[in-house]
Amino acid sequence: AKKSGRSTFRIYRRGMDELIEKRRALEADIERGLEREEFELYLQPRVAARSGDVVGYEALIRWNHPERGMVSPGDFIPVAEVSGKIIALGEWVVREACRLASLCPDHLHLSLNVSPVQFRHPDFLSHLDRIVRVSGIAPQRLELEITESVLIDDDERALSILTHLKSAGFRIALDDFGTGYSSLSYLSRYPFDVIKIDRSFVAALGTEEAANSIVRTIIDLGRGLGMRVVAEGVETIEQAVHLSETGCDELQGYLLGRPLPAAEAVTEITNTLVR
Ligand code: C2E
Ligand code: CA
Ligand code: CA
Ligand code: CA
């Protein structure tokens, strides 16, 4: 038993080593990728439920890797977070989002995802402030999407950062609402402008009884607190109709538009204006 235990351990160790090696390669790759401009933002529209007007776009990062092909954020954001590379990557996202916002008409806002690691970094506020100031766009046009996980560790600090962001003029959205350690007290304690209903609830609409109640409750709660409520992952007309009728303010999902490479999206936006 001892012997097989040891060889199991050896296999385990080898597996670990390979994992660490892979992760290290990916880390180095992220740095090179930034230098070689392999990252790209895609834009997905957010649409007012009542009018159908596009009110803004969410920026979603993609990695056009020379060997691996298109790598999705789920595969490299976690590694970037553990290694600290998320800081450089996050700054690039802010810079690029500002550039894109400046190319779009003023009434459109741009949402960007902020990692908890980035959010907690001591230089987050000052870097954000500097990048936005240099870009010349109004902070009101940027919406920062954060998840509940930034709120759990250090309440006071999170509150202080959020308050700073608010007073600087940024809009703040609580992403993936309902999936984390959702606590109702978060919603009244923190100055959110927007809550985004996680797409798992949207997907379950009409098929799971509980989903309808949860969605209705989130919408009533958000609106009662004066926030805009956005549903993500809207894929069918039935979902869109149900959400609009329940009072959801905005919709986002493949039904309304897939994420498009930013250059393409911007061309489309400016062409629509001319027409
Ligand atoms: P998220 O912020 O919840 O983004 C929504 C995800 O749902 C995106 O996946 C989007 O492409 C996808 N999606 C949009 N509409 C639909 C739909 O109708 N159906 C389905 N099934 N999916 C839909 P994506 O682009 O792969 O991003 C995954 C996650 O990676 C994001 O989840 C976000 O947490 C993170 N992420 C993306 N871009 C960034 C970034 O620039 N910085 C950071 N820190 N994280 C990012
Ligand atoms: Ca998001
Ligand atoms: Ca989300
Ligand atoms: Ca998510």
| Residue 93 CB less than 6 A away from ligand 1 | yes
Q: Which residues are CB-contacts of 160 (< 8 A; sequence separation ≥ 6)?
A: none
| Residue 116 CB less than 6 A away from ligand 1 | no
Ligand 2: centre distance to CA 254 (Å): 14
Mutate to test the pocket of ligand 1, among 60, 95, 198 (most ligand atoms within 8 A of CB): 60
In percent, how much of the chain has pLDDT > 90?
76
| Residue 253 CB less than 6 A away from ligand 1 | yes
Q: How far is CA 161 from CA 117, 168, 170, 209, 255, in A?
A: 13, 11, 12, 38, 35
Ligand 3: centre distance to CA 225 (Å): 20
Q: Band of the pLDDT at 182, cuts 50, 70, 90?
A: low
> 237-264: per-residue pLDDT in tens?
999 999 999 999 999 999 999 999 999 9
pLDDT at 20: 85
pLDDT at 13: 84
| Residue 175 CB less than 6 A away from ligand 1 | yes
Instruction: Please give the mean pLDDT across all residues of the chain.
Output: 92
Ligand 4: centre distance to CA 176 (Å): 6
Q: Band of the pLDDT at 93, cuts 50, 70, 90?
A: very high
Name which of 105, 93, 114, 103 is nearest 54 in CA terms: 105
| Residue 154 pLDDT > 80 | no
> 36-73: per-residue pLDDT in tens?
999 999 999 999 999 999 999 999 999 999 998 999 99
Name which of 69, 68, 43, 66 is nearest 56 in CA terms: 43
pLDDT at 149: 85
Q: Which residues are CB-contacts of 223 (< 8 A; sequence separation ≥ 6)?
A: 229, 247, 249
Contact criterion met (CB below 8 Å) for 251 and 46 = yes
Q: Which residues are found with C-beta within 5 Å of the ion, ligand 3?
A: 175-176
| Residue 274 pLDDT > 70 | no
Ligand 1: nearest atom to the Cα of 93: 41
As for the ipTM of the complex, it is: 0.98
Q: Band of the pLDDT at 153, cuts 50, 70, 90?
A: low
| Residue 75 CB less than 6 A away from ligand 1 | no
pLDDT at 26: 85
Residue 270 phi, psi (nearest 5): -75, -30
Q: Which residues are found with C-beta within 5 Å of the ion, ligand 4?
A: 176
Q: Which residues are CB-contacts of 21 (< 8 A; sequence separation ≥ 6)?
A: none
Contact criterion met (CB below 8 Å) for 179 and 203 = no
Separation between Cα atoms, residue 239 and residue 260, nearest integer Å:
22
Q: Which residues are CB-contacts of 54 (< 8 A; sequence separation ≥ 6)?
A: 45, 46, 47, 48, 108, 257
